[in-house]
Chains A and B, each alone.
Chain A
Amino acid sequence: MVNYIWVGMTIIGLVFAAVNGTMSEVNEAVFKGAQEAVTLCIGLISILVFWLGMMRIAENAGLLEKLANLFKPFITRLFPEVPAGHPAMGYILSNMMANVFGLGNAATPLGIKAMEELKRLNGGKDSASRSMITFLAINTSSITLIPTTVIAIRITYDSASPTEIVGPTLIATSISTIAAILIDRYFYYRRSRKG
């Protein structure tokens, strides 16, 4: 699916540029897009190194296991394939915590670690397991407590009440997370019916 979207976006863009005469913009976009991607990755190194270092300490000290045990009833229901007390649970939970507090940069390395553990649980296969899809669905609808960046933008543009969107954001994000879980379940049952 991602292959088709990727090729589709590029080819449609190229055809459009040919018809619209925007070929010079497209030429520029190729190099700008690649550069932006690399800059983003380089910027990620600092945060990845720091949080993965911190999380290794937390992991070796048994902190993630503790956290996982605390939320066991909730998480076992969401991820029935992950055994109780497995490190994957700890990572999944820390990732959710980071997302809730709007720490997108801290959430990424934790999410990757969670995926790594889920892959190990899935026998190291290169296809996505049920738990991975559930984890991804919850992540893309991320529960947000404080939309810090948005509040900052609103302050910049002289909003009378920059934080008034906190309430609606929390409600909208809760609805979308519940919807994500339901959609994920629906696709899972459809898959399992097909065998």
Chain B
Amino acid sequence: MHIVSIISLWFIPVLIGFILLYGTVKKVPTYETFVEGGKEGIKMAFSIIPFLVGMMVAISIFRASGALDFMIDWMRPGLEKFGIPADILPLAIIRPISGTAALGMTSDLIAAHGPDSFIGRLASTIQGSTDTTFYVLTVYFGAVGIKKMGDALKVGLLADLAGFAAAIVVVTLMFGM
């Protein structure tokens, strides 16, 4: 664990130093190149705004109206048959849609059930092992102007489902109910 935390602490600084030194050795005009590349970042951030605004407003409406809570209550009996705690469902639904909302829900679950409870551990594992599919999809495809997504959404969501299933199984096996 110590090595892992050292790596996470040193990774970015070492990467920055390495790129700058490597560029200097290869005679790249580092500062000019940095500025030139950075300009692109401004354009990119602004081009993402409409995609995120559209998506996040829809999610907020869905959540604020009470529709999300209704969906959870409706699905609860079916889920509990498969050993899936219904409390985890909002997180599972929100996780592919909104990263910040999912983080909020994870902290909420950990606060309510305790970090070392089954739900707490499960929420931690789900939060850590999956990513925000809709965010990745809207940002990556939006920034480069991909309009026809093909199977991308289906594949992404099914992968998320596999991630949740894996998290539930692994946490159950390692820590028990």
Q: Which residues of A contact B (CB under 8 A)?
A: 1-2, 5-6, 9-10, 12-14, 16-17, 20, 22, 25-26, 28-30, 32-34, 36-38, 40-42, 44-45, 47-63, 99, 101-104, 106, 108-109, 111-112, 115-116, 119, 126-128, 132-133, 136-137, 139-142, 144-150, 153-154, 156-173, 175-177, 179-180, 183-184, 187-188, 191
Q: How far in angstroms is the closest Cβ of chain B from A125? A: 8
Chain A residues lying within 8 Å of B19, measured Cβ to Cβ, are 54-55, 57-58, 61, 63
Which B residues touch A32, using CB under 8 A? 60
**B176 on the interface (CB 8 Å rule)?**
no
Cβ–Cβ contact A144 & B129, under 8 A: yes
Known A-B contacts A54-B37, A61-B19, A139-B136; the reply to A176 vs B129 at CB < 8 A is yes
Contacts between chains A and B (CB distance < 8 A), count: 357
Interface residue? B72 (CB, 8 A): no
CB distance from A177 to the nearest CB of B (A): 8
Query: Does the CB pair B37–A179 fall under 8 Å?
Result: no
B49 & A146 in contact (Cβ 8 Å cutoff): no
With contacts A48-B44, A154-B124, A165-B125 known, is A33 near B56, CB below 8 A? yes
Number of residues on chain B facing chain A (CB within 8 A): 103
Interface of B is mostly: helix
Contact of A112 among B140, B150, B153 (CB under 8 A): B140
B79 in the interface (beta carbon within 8 A): no
Q: A147: which B residues are within 8 A, CB to CB?
A: 124, 127-129
Say how far A75's CB is from chain B's closest CB, in angstroms.
Answer: 18
B124 to chain A, nearest CB (A): 4
Residues of chain B contacted by A37 (CB below 8 angstroms): 49, 52-53, 55-57
What are 7 sample pairs from A and B whose C-beta atoms fall under 8 A apart? A25-B64, A34-B57, A60-B23, A61-B19, A116-B144, A150-B106, A179-B163
